[in-house]
Structure 1
Amino acid sequence: MKTHVKALVVGGGAVGNGIAYHLAKAGWDTMLVERDELTSGSTWHAAGLLPLFNMSYATTHIHKYSVDFYKGLEAETGLNAGFSICGNLRMAQRQERMDEYMLYSSVAETAGVYHEFLTPAQMKERWPLLNTSDLVGALYHPQDGYINPADVTQAMAKGARQLGATIERKVQVDGYRWTGSEWIVSCTRMVEKGGMLVAGEEKFEIVAEHVVTATGNHAQRTARLLGVKIPAIPVEHQFIVTEPDPMLQEFRKNNPEHPVLRDADAKWYVREERGGWILGPYEAGAPARFLYDVPESFRADLFPLDLERIETEYMSMIHRLPSSETVGLKDDFNGPICYTPDGNPLVGPVPGLRNMWIAEGFSFGITAAGGTGYYLAQMMTAGEAEIDMASLDPRRYGQWMTTEYAARKNEECYEHVFILHHPDEEREACRPLRTAPAYDRQKDMGAQFGQVNGWDRPNYYGPKDAPASFDHDSRSFRRGAWWPYAKAEAEAVRNTVGIIDATAFTKHLVRGPGATAFLDHFTCNTLPKVGRINLTYALTEAGTTRTEYTIVRLKENEYYLISAGAWTSYDSDFLLKSAEDFMGNGGGYIDIHDVTTQWGVYALAGPNARALLKDLVKDANPDTVLSNKRFPWLSYRDIELGMCPVRAIRVAYTGELGWELHYPIEFGRYLWDLLWSVGEKHGLKGVGARAQNWLRQEKSYRAFGNELGRDATPLEAALDRFVDLKKDFKGKQAMLDTGIRSKCVTLLIDGPSDTDPWGKEAILNDGIKVGRLTSGGYSVAFGKQIGMGYVPVELSEVGTKLKVKMLLQEWDAVVVEDSPFDPSNARIRIDG
């Protein structure tokens, strides 16, 4: 048995074997260890479905790769993976569900996933056993279907061995130790005694440069061994198998297999199984299991079935397939399947650790196994994947996350598999949890909150007397009932003044004798002078955009860094590891602190912002303290507002005259009340994240996670003015070598009267897909839809006429100049 490898994969399910295969294919010396038998976790009892449908751009690519990859496994390995390419029919009982499918269609088109739309009559003609009387339509993927989970796993394992990988069964990992250059992995040989798997006496170590954990249901044990938090906890999933259905058997004499059926509004999937049916519901009340550990006695075991819990879904299957009513039950399964709070798996580096990677929390593990192996292997061997994997990054969850939170959110996520996934969806479990000081004040004003990184922040301010269900009932794939409130907020910022609670912003303090030299190399823009600020970007080794920062220079070697609120742990881990590398290469000492929860933020923006602050500022010359001369744009000053000390930064994400008011968190309620005490006479209005998102697009301000990510360079994002090519910085040469593959542009769109783009839509030229939107919304300045996205360079010129696909139709769009609203920034710089 090998004792030293380049990469060690821990976990022998479908995901682990997919990773081992692709690492071996990339030329890495790879070993996989499994504590029991291959497929003995959730893989063995999975239904083996391969749904291409997914609203995530990254996950759609992962699923598409898997489906294509599995089709070629038999030719490569000689093993038939049992792939039934029968198609997937996703039915809709209401128009709103069809709206969801139409939005998905744009995601699928940008990822190259073929799909069709069918009418109820077309479905009935092809599959007469279906009751289509209450359907309005369906989305059909003819190229997917289902596969045998055990067979595809064994095929990937054989393929990995053929490529040089080693696979060892009955090996349990008991500990990990980092030496500074490699991992020492402590292992125990497992043995069977009385039907149980127990630790034997043989203990040994494996040395690996890189480790990947794909431990499935055992993720909480993995988390303890690594000393980190992994919010992957299983939830019970039941499915039942019926006896043969005579009417189905008769149909099949002259017809191909039924597609996998999904009645999303009834919350189930059904597929054929040996002349009968498999029903898999996603019901309410399915409990999380193994919150802390998997019992030693639990191997390829199942939980007792709870038929009462799925009675509604069972009856709805009979309604949809009347022939199943008289068919008896043949078998049943109730096993653990891992989830995460947002439903996306955790794929990528472990925060705080070097060369440690995880692939955990797969609720659709069979579908994702091949694609996860492909893209994770790219990240490990080449530094980045060809698509932006940030939405799956394990560091999207911070240390605030607890086991209780993960369990409750995972249960909610399970129940929501078939719930309508509105782009403006906000799920209610575990909320409010993290709240800014003025939360209660905002709630009393009618704020409807969204959650970002555990923080509740206003999305918009609805009516003060709104019922508790107002926000839920307002959601839509078109313009929801919240839309006029967001429009009024955006207009207030343009015409009077608005206040935005931005407390969720990520904030770091970077200081020390090495701080200046470190940040100068770490970021691509010129560092600001003391008292000034600058917008800049940290790049990946591949030259793409890793993080966006607003840097405030407090002192010669002391900096305050502000970045996106959703990515605190993500940014902190990258910042700390980069600083360690800098100091390890002879750089001066750097002290870094995450101060996110120490500082709250209110952003004031609008023509009346200065007048409002003048009423409150404490200064010997209050009439001039906020003037351009004393407080210019892109500068900061420590000021006093009443009794509150404030670190004021003259910048506004909305493109208006404005300040970010960073305050010690304990002053939050006082400062909120103080601002409102004089705000009414200046037209002050509470503003939420949705209006702010529209406004920043009118200024062509890129957003991390939308326009900015690990699949595009700052130059491709058209951010040349924030890149100082005269200096050396991390990722510079790779950025230059990459060149300009596509360009970020702003589009004004003459779209439908009741719908705005969400940032998922395809951009077309002469009917051909040429790009995709990364953001979308409504422009109050231009009275039409607006969006940002990437197109080929030759189509990026101002005035280029394109089309944006919305609701399955092509709508006129035109490329406009960057910052179409106030391109000279006169409103931002106005004096007074």
Structure 2
Amino acid sequence: MKTQVKALVVGGGAVGTSIAYHLAKAGWDDVMLLERDELTSGSTWHAAGLLPLFNMSFATTHIHKYSVDFYKSLEAETGLNAGFAVVGNLRMAQTQDRMDEFMLYASTAETCDVPYVWMTPDQIKAKWPLINTDDLKGALYHHTDGYINPADVTQAMAKGARQRGVEIVRKWQADAFHWNGTHWEVTCTKMVEKGGNLVPSEEQITITAEHVVTASGNHAQTTAKKLGIKIPAIPVEHQFIVMDQDPALVKFRAEGHVEHPVIRDADAQSYVREERGGWILGVYEKNAPAVFEYGVPDSFRADLFPLDLERIEDQYMAMIHRIPSCEDSGLKDDFNGPICYTPDGNPLVGPAPGLRNMWLAEGFSFGITAAGGTGYYLAQMMVHGEAEIDMASLDPKRYGNWMTTEFAARKNEECYDHVYILHHPDEERPACRPLRTSPAYDRQAARGAQFGFVNGWERPNYYAPAGFNDHDARSFRRGGWWQYAVEEAKAIREGVGLIDATAFTKHRITGPGATAFLDWFTTNKLPRVGRINLTYALTAHGTTRTEYTIVRNGENDYYLVSAGAWTAYDQDYLFKAIEDKEPTFGRINAQDVTTQWGVFAIAGPKSRDVLAAVIKDADPATALSNKRFPWLSAQKIELGMCPVNAIRVAYTGELGWELHHPIEMQNYLFDLLEKAGAPHGMKLVGARAQNWLRQEKSYRAFGNELGRDATPLEADLPRFVDLSKDFHGKEAMLAKGIRSKCVTLLIDGPADADPWGREALYDGDTRVGRLTSGGYSVAFGKSIGMGYVKPEMAAVGTQLQVKMLDQLWPAVIVEDSPYDPQNAVIRQDG
């Protein structure tokens, strides 16, 4: 057994073995996998083994597709049959809303080269007569996936890993992790059988590893404590039952018919597949409890919980309705085991927060489906420094230190019972809310705010009349909220609106080394004192890691504003870079001040008039003029009794200011602005209208147009890249060239729907790109979107089509910033 390795993988389930295999395949010849029990002894052994390609996440869809393709190749490489039954996956819809969901998903699938087929109820009945189709609208059929034997595929990957030089060690537990400055020292204990339990012995060794990956499954909470971090991966009970033979099914197969696909009845929260002449029923019911919130007991090994049939009675009856012939089949076996979840259902894959060379692969609710692709893309990140797709949506740092065990447990329960809930793009889930609120939350709620959930914060999405129900307003088309967002967008274009942007991430960087560091860390020229600049921090591969608005308050005093959804993600990268570069540039102080400052954005042609009524200045009439307060500058002003760091910039593209204020004075400032705005018809405005307005200005958004799969030059932002200076990632950025280009499109779409930013773009029958944002333009009276196309298709005036609701709709590429391209409106004087 080695005691010094390049990489140590902790966890011998499907995910861990895949990571070890792919690290070795990527060229690392000194990899060890450590398993505290036996391979597959965690959730892998009782997983149903389904391989669904269906997923709304761009990154996760790529992961699942890789897995499905990879598993088909394993037998040729290892000689072990992974038990892959390519029977397909039939996802049925009982309602038009469900079909709309499938159509939105299908366009996303096309962007990832995932094949699918539409089926009518009559086609389903003709092919699989045992299925009752009387109440179906249709179905989406993935003919290339199916199910696999979890133990077999894990053992096949383990054999492939061994063939590539990986050492796999069982019955050893990683008990402690210590970073010595260059390597991890992992204290490991030999585990022994005692009375049916697995207990630690007195035998210990220390393994030194340059990199460590944790793929600890149900033990994620124990892993988190050992590492001193938070990991919101907690298991939830998942039940499925195996039924005795169904004579009708036995007869159907005896007549030479092929095996049924995995049958997914989403509106009944269940899936069904064949199993030796009978059926397996798996469910995602309500009230399934989270378990092991504080760690897995030593007595729990390859064990299960008692079946709770009452909890799944509705799904059982729905199965009988869908496959009537199974009614007289008895119960053969049952499984109720822990399956790990995260609050949003996506796994946690990537660097651990605050730690060096520590990688997480935790929280897999569809672990068998994701195992192959996770190993592939995580190995790319570890070996090459970046994956070929943007993995930020799966990054463990998408949850900050505000996250608690209670939050994770309750949200994971919610996520479980939402597996088959309609996943509207405007979906907002209610569990654990409100949690993080700005002081003005109650005032906004009283005025009809319908809140969204952003990094734990409550942020107004839009404002509606009393009694309005946001849940009922959701749709895959233009929901009931759409009209209110239109009114809010018009208010900013024609009058004045007030937006709560408190959730923005805010950091203060000071010290003798601050200027030299930020000049190296970001792409644009640093602003002069009292001015601001938009800029980017790049990855080592030259792609966009973070977008910043930098306000320079003093010679070595900077205020950095970035996306509210990415606070911990941005902070981890920023703080690690400071730690690395401080010896070079000198002392640098970095402080997260996100919760110290509230932010109101006021915008619109009348915004100057509102502020002039409350600003305290010797000459209020000129205090906000271009001469005294020019565009892209920052000043400390007083609004009534509230000191404000005002920034003349507006994400909506109108005349406006961001008003950064002490959080404890927010309610005072809200009341002051509301009163001053009343004579001018000022409207409270939410994030959805703002999102539409920023697309009219072609303002890129991080996590949409900006990310680790494109450079700022590919995002068509050369004005924010100063090629005359050296900055981190510059050479890699230039070496990449322009592989694709970001464009803005106006779309003549359906009368009742707008794009959501997940749709495929076509030139005739050829797919040439995808949307990354979408919505409605009040300025042009039609749908709008932003996205990436092949460079040769990016010219203004190019006619393309957008795939929406399973149809192609005409779209045209327009000039950047189609609304006010000369920025005359935003620069207007007073």
Q: TM-score per shorter chain, which class?
A: over 0.9
Paired position in structure 2 for 1:213: 214
Paired position in structure 2 for 1:522: 521
Paired position in structure 1 for 2:654: 656
Q: CA deviation at 1:762?
A: 0.3
| 1:412 alignment partner, one of 411, 414, 427 | 414
For the pair 1:26 / 2:22, whether they are aligned, the reply is no
Paired position in structure 1 for 2:15: 15
Q: CA deviation at 1:678?
A: 1.3
CA distance in 1 between partners of 2:42 and 2:585 (Å): 47
Q: CA deviation at 1:466?
A: 1.6
Paired position in structure 1 for 2:177: 176
CA distance in 1 between partners of 2:689 and 2:732 (Å): 36
Q: CA deviation at 1:298?
A: 0.2
For the pair 1:734 / 2:732, whether they are aligned, the reply is yes
Amino acid at match of 1:524: T
CA distance in 2 between partners of 1:642 and 1:678 (Å): 11
Amino acid at match of 1:492: A
Paired position in structure 2 for 1:187: 188
| 2:757 alignment partner, one of 756, 759, 767 | 759
Paired position in structure 1 for 2:696: 698
Q: Secondary structure at the match of 2:282?
A: strand
CA distance in 2 between partners of 1:825 and 1:587 (Å): 37
Q: Secondary structure at the match of 1:17?
A: helix
Q: Secondary structure at the match of 1:700?
A: coil
What CA deviation, in whole Å up to 9, does each residue of 1:229-254 have, x standing for no partner? 00000000000000011100000111
Amino acid at match of 2:357: N
Paired position in structure 2 for 1:244: 245
Q: CA deviation at 1:767?
A: 1.3
TM-score (normalised: structure 1) = 0.99
Q: CA deviation at 1:709?
A: 0.3
Amino acid at match of 2:176: G
For the pair 1:373 / 2:371, whether they are aligned, the reply is no
CA distance in 2 between partners of 1:761 and 1:26 (Å): 32
Paired position in structure 1 for 2:348: 346
CA distance in 2 between partners of 1:433 and 1:129 (Å): 48
CA distance in 2 between partners of 1:291 and 1:534 (Å): 45
CA distance in 1 between partners of 2:36 and 2:485 (Å): 53
Amino acid at match of 2:536: Y
Q: CA deviation at 1:583?
A: 1.3
Q: CA deviation at 1:178?
A: 0.3
Structure 1 segment 604-753 matched on structure 2, within 5 A? 604-753=602-751
CA distance in 2 between partners of 1:814 and 1:687 (Å): 29
Structure 1 segment 146-165 matched on structure 2, within 5 A? 146-165=147-166
Q: CA deviation at 1:682?
A: 1.1
For the pair 1:790 / 2:800, whether they are aligned, the reply is no
CA RMSD of aligned residues (A): 0.5
Unaligned segments of structure 2, at least 5 residues:
none
Q: CA deviation at 1:822?
A: 0.2
Paired position in structure 1 for 2:479: 480
CA distance in 1 between partners of 2:382 and 2:603 (Å): 43
Q: CA deviation at 1:828?
A: 0.5
TM-score (normalised: structure 2) = 1.00
Paired position in structure 2 for 1:502: 501
Amino acid at match of 1:11: G
CA distance in 1 between partners of 2:582 and 2:162 (Å): 41
Paired residues in the alignment total 828
Q: Secondary structure at the match of 1:241?
A: strand
CA distance in 1 between partners of 2:769 and 2:829 (Å): 40
Q: Secondary structure at the match of 2:568?
A: helix
Paired position in structure 1 for 2:814: 816
Paired position in structure 1 for 2:559: 560
Q: CA deviation at 1:510?
A: 0.3
| 2:432 alignment partner, one of 424, 430, 433 | 430
CA distance in 2 between partners of 1:788 and 1:536 (Å): 20
Q: Secondary structure at the match of 1:679?
A: helix
Q: CA deviation at 1:194?
A: 1.6
| 1:775 alignment partner, one of 769, 773, 777 | 773
Q: Secondary structure at the match of 2:371?
A: helix
CA distance in 2 between partners of 1:596 and 1:583 (Å): 23
Paired position in structure 1 for 2:104: 103
Paired position in structure 2 for 1:454: 456
Q: Secondary structure at the match of 1:752?
A: coil
Paired position in structure 2 for 1:79: 80
CA distance in 1 between partners of 2:553 and 2:167 (Å): 54
Q: Secondary structure at the match of 1:237?
A: strand
Q: CA deviation at 1:689?
A: 0.5
CA distance in 1 between partners of 2:569 and 2:111 (Å): 27
CA distance in 2 between partners of 1:752 and 1:88 (Å): 29
What CA deviation, in whole Å up to 9, does each residue of 1:182-201 have, x standing for no partner? 00000001011121101012
| 1:402 alignment partner, one of 397, 401, 404 | 404
Amino acid at match of 1:200: S
Q: CA deviation at 1:86?
A: 0.2
Paired position in structure 1 for 2:5: 5
CA distance in 2 between partners of 1:65 and 1:83 (Å): 14
Q: CA deviation at 1:112?
A: 0.1
| 1:325 alignment partner, one of 324, 327, 340 | 327
* Bigger Cα displacement from structure 2, 673-682 vs 223-232: 673-682
Unaligned segments of structure 1, at least 5 residues:
none
CA distance in 1 between partners of 2:440 and 2:377 (Å): 42
Q: CA deviation at 1:277?
A: 0.4
Paired position in structure 2 for 1:541: 540
Structure 1 segment 378-397 matched on structure 2, within 5 A? 378-397=380-399
Paired position in structure 2 for 1:57: 58
CA distance in 2 between partners of 1:490 and 1:621 (Å): 31
CA distance in 2 between partners of 1:668 and 1:660 (Å): 13
Paired position in structure 1 for 2:579: 580
Q: Secondary structure at the match of 1:520?
A: helix
Q: CA deviation at 1:817?
A: 0.3
Q: CA deviation at 1:596?
A: 0.2
